[in-house]
Amino acid sequence: MSKKTDKIDALAALSAQRSETGETLWKAAFKRLRGNPMAITGAIIIAIFLVVAVIGPFLVPYSPTATTWLGEVSESQALFPGPRAENWLGIDHQGRDEFSRMIVGAQQSLLVGVVATLFGLVFGALLGGIAGASAGLGGRIGVWIDSIIMRLMDMMLSIPGLLLAISIAAMIGQSVATVMIAVGTVQIPIFARLLRGSMIAQAQADYVLASTSLGIRKPRIVLSHIVPNSLAPVIVQVTLLLGIAIIEAAGLSYLGLGNADTTFPEWGVMLTDAQRYLSSAPRFAVFPAVAIIITALGFTLLGEALREALDPKLRR
């Protein structure tokens, strides 16, 4: 009896294993993600952040810029009304509802993070793709093109990220778009190097040799064979860099390089404002800081989990 059930169990395990291999890379990765608490935590944080950032601004109780409660605030007496029934997170130093400002700030962070990362991804992938294709298949001229692009990327990488972003922001001037471009530019060499390396590795794969042996032309091999196989690490990097972009965007706003309208709520700007009241009302700094940290943590957790799930070496 027990022997029979053992056999059935073994068969069931075998067929389960078979169904595991009978899935696409992405389906299998998703399955592994679902079983990873790190991934679930990250996904929940990101989901909450997305909902707050997208729907939140329409539901906020008060205008984030209206100085409705200015009369109750007194800087000289260090009087800032704290959390209460009508203002969940209290009143800021200019008599504005802190809760509404936090929510609208989330939208700003999401917008800047996504656009900046997209900017970095598009240009980085373009440069890295050209370099990777040239290095892998382009012959002598290809090596030249690859060298020129990658040395340029090395130069960009050698400048500390925030410093590069500050110089770019200082060059173009103060605006939200500046922050996006500055943060995105820092990411260009990261994406470029990643995609290039991945493509060069894939150019050595057997299926590339096989399609070459069938007379398929090089541009076609690059686009339909090498690039699709090189994207997995890039996608992981997008998730990881989204978190960093949000931190860097807040950093640039904190330094006063963001939106020229300083009354507009933005987590980084709120931190700048909070500086003056660190001793009297530390919560001004705590709320945006915690929000930035948790959001970045969410993206990092999901990114790391995604990397593990897609890494063939870590698969059992």
Q: Which residues bind other proteins (CB under 8 A)?
A: 21-25, 139, 205-207, 209-217, 220, 224-225, 228-229
In whole angstroms, the minimum distance from the beta carbon of 200 to other proteins comes to 14
Q: Closer CB to other proteins, residue 23 or residue 75?
A: 23
Residue closer to other proteins (CB basis): 66 or 201 = 201
In the complex, minimum distance from the CB of residue 198 to other proteins, in angstroms, rounded to a whole number: 13
| Rounded least distance, CB 26 to other proteins, Å | 9
Q: Give the three-state DSSP class for 90.
A: coil
**Least Cβ distance, residue 113 to other proteins (angstroms):** 28
Closer to other proteins by CB, 71 or 215: give it: 215
Instruction: Write out the two tokens for 89.
Output: 């997170």
Helix (H, G, I), strand (E, B) or coil at 91: strand
Give the distance, in angstroms, between the CA of residue 46 and the centroid of all CA atoms in the same chain.
10
Give the Å distances, CA to CA, from 52 to 48, 84, 90, 127, 203.
6, 21, 19, 35, 43
Q: 277: how many CB neighbours lie within 10 A of its CB? A: 17
CB atoms within 10 A of CB 256: 14
Query: Taking the complex as a whole, how short is the minimal distance between the CB of residue 32 and other proteins, in angstroms?
Result: 16
Residue 87 DSSP class: S
Sequence letter at residue 126:
L
Nearer to other proteins, 204 or 279 (CB): 204
- 67 or 229, CB closer to other proteins? 229
d(CA 147, CA 203): 17
The minimum distance between CB 146 and other proteins, in angstroms, equals 14
Q: DSSP letter at 198?
A: H
Question: CA 179: distance to chain centroid?
Answer: 15
Give whichever of 3 and 217 is closer to other proteins, judged by the CB atom. 217
DSSP code, position 141: H
